[in-house]
Copies of this chain bind each other. A is one copy, B any other.
Amino acid sequence: MPTHYDIFIKNCRILQPAGQGHQLVSGSIGIRHGRLTAIGAAGLGPGATADRLIEGDGLVAMPGLVNCHVHGAMTLFRGLADDLPLMTWLEEHIFPAEARFVSAEMVYWCTKLAAAEMLLSGTTTAADGYFYMEAAARAYRESGMRAILGQAVVDFPVPGVADPGQNIKAVTAFIDGFPPSSLLQPAVFAHSPYTCSAETLVRARAVAREKEVPFFIHLAETRGEELLIGAGDLSPVAYLDSLALLDPGVIAVHCVWLSEADMDILARRGCRVVTCPESNMKLGSGVAPVPAMLARHIPVGLGTDSCASNNDLDLFGEMDSCAKLAKVHNMQPELLPAQEVLTMATSMGAACLGLADIGTLAVGMKADLILVDCRSPRLTPLFSPDLLVYGARGGDVDTVIVDGRLVVSQGEVLTMDVQEIMARVRALAGQVAEADHGK
């Protein structure tokens, strides 16, 4: 029987693993039934057919990027208040705006905006944590992205869960009611060890274990977090370990302030870590010891955090910042090379989220891939894939395919009405600005 492809990408350059890093190999890519079914030098071949043929000249094919930590709906608060101390920012701007404006409707539209921004900048998978996550799931479903949705657990009243005594019940109901999906899965997002009591943390961890879903938690983001927790001499990591929470199901986000002993615990327990360098920079939180964690074989994924503290969701820029920040912080230009950061944003990010069949372009893997247009002065000449980190930006993404489905073509989202989404969010933002300035 002659070969048939749903999509065939002809004569592009393909990012492929090579030793500890990557290389660009000229070739073509065939996709069928959501998977990569051909990767090789040849074209379509005699008798082979394709429903859609993409000319790859000038394009680099690479795995879709994996954003391991985002609060999608917070696009509404993008740039609402910048350059402020963390507590002023949170207490005078973000919390009041959240209390007033976060609703299922808001989460739906603002998560759609986040999904549009992420798809347009080459992110095919996101791990999102916020409130009203059923509404977020609806937004991601319509977008065509792959996502893990963590319903937030906090010990104070939050949007959608007015009674904190119901927070465990709410996350359980969210997981139980989650519609089966090949692209989406639910998770528990315990906000942090200083906003959840020990009892809440233990109960939330138990739910995640029982339901076999990932457990996300903000951890050691800010210096002195142990004082907020109030567990005596224990560091935030040691505290979670003392509660028997840490195991390979845990994805710890930020991990800026870790001692050597903390890193040893995380490595020993098989935990995974997400670093969000731009958010840590903008909030002045500090620099996560990424090279030291990688040296201990802790999988470290890359996250943008919310765009309120970034202010974008572009993982290309995040890769660049991640590599450069490690170098300048340690004054070692050879630290965290571009090649390693590319891995963090693709296959290691996938591993961090427990997704085994995305993150690498190889036959049999799920077809989550992007095409980066390299025909611009900024990407000329193109000596090596390093330039995908140090030169490319989200705006260079031409094509995005998730699970074998074309969702962005020539820089346009095919799955959603982006103009309508922007109009909806702008209207909401007008109300937010009015309320914020009125204070």
Contact = CB atoms under 8 A, between A and B. Distances in A.
The number of times this chain is found in the oligomer is: 2
Interface residues of A, number: 76
Contacts of A339: 83
Given A311-B386, A393-B394, 19 more contacts: A75-B377, A76-B381, A79-B382, A82-B337, A82-B390, A83-B334, A83-B338, A114-B377, A117-B378, A120-B376, A120-B378, A314-B393, A321-B324, A380-B425, A380-B426, A381-B426, A381-B432, A383-B433, A395-B396
Interface of A: 75-76, 78-80, 82-86, 89, 113-114, 116-117, 120-121, 223, 278, 280-287, 307, 310-314, 317, 320-321, 323-325, 327-328, 330-335, 337-339, 375-378, 380-384, 386-387, 390-391, 393-396, 418, 421-422, 425-426, 428-429, 432-433
A286 B331 CA distance: 6
Q: What 10 pairs across the A-B complex have the smallest Cβ distances?
A: A381-B429, A281-B324, A395-B395, A83-B337, A311-B390, A117-B377, A284-B333, A281-B328, A284-B327, A79-B387
Contacts of A396: 395
B82 A422 contact: no
A283 B327 contact: yes
Contacts of A418: 377
Contacts of A381: 75-76, 78-79, 425-426, 428-429, 432
B380 A113 contact: yes
A91 B425 CA distance: 52
Given A378-B312, A381-B76, A84 B321 contact: no
Contacts of A324: 278, 281-282, 321
A20 to B, nearest CB: 12
A28 to B, nearest CB: 22
A113 B376 CA distance: 10
Nearest to A426: B381
10 contacts: A78-B387, A117-B376, A282-B324, A284-B332, A284-B335, A312-B378, A321-B321, A377-B418, A381-B429, A393-B393
Contacts of A395: 393, 395-396
A311 B426 contact: no
Give the interface centre of A280, A314, A377, A393 by most chain B CB atoms within 10 Å: A377
Contacts of A332: 85, 284
Nearest to A340: B83
Contacts of A393: 314, 317, 393-395
A74 to B, nearest CB: 11
Contacts of A429: 380-381, 383
Task: Tell me which of A78, A116, A120, A307 has the highest count of chain B C-beta atoms within 10 A of its own C-beta.
Answer: A78
A331 B390 contact: no
B390 A282 contact: yes
A432 B381 CA distance: 10
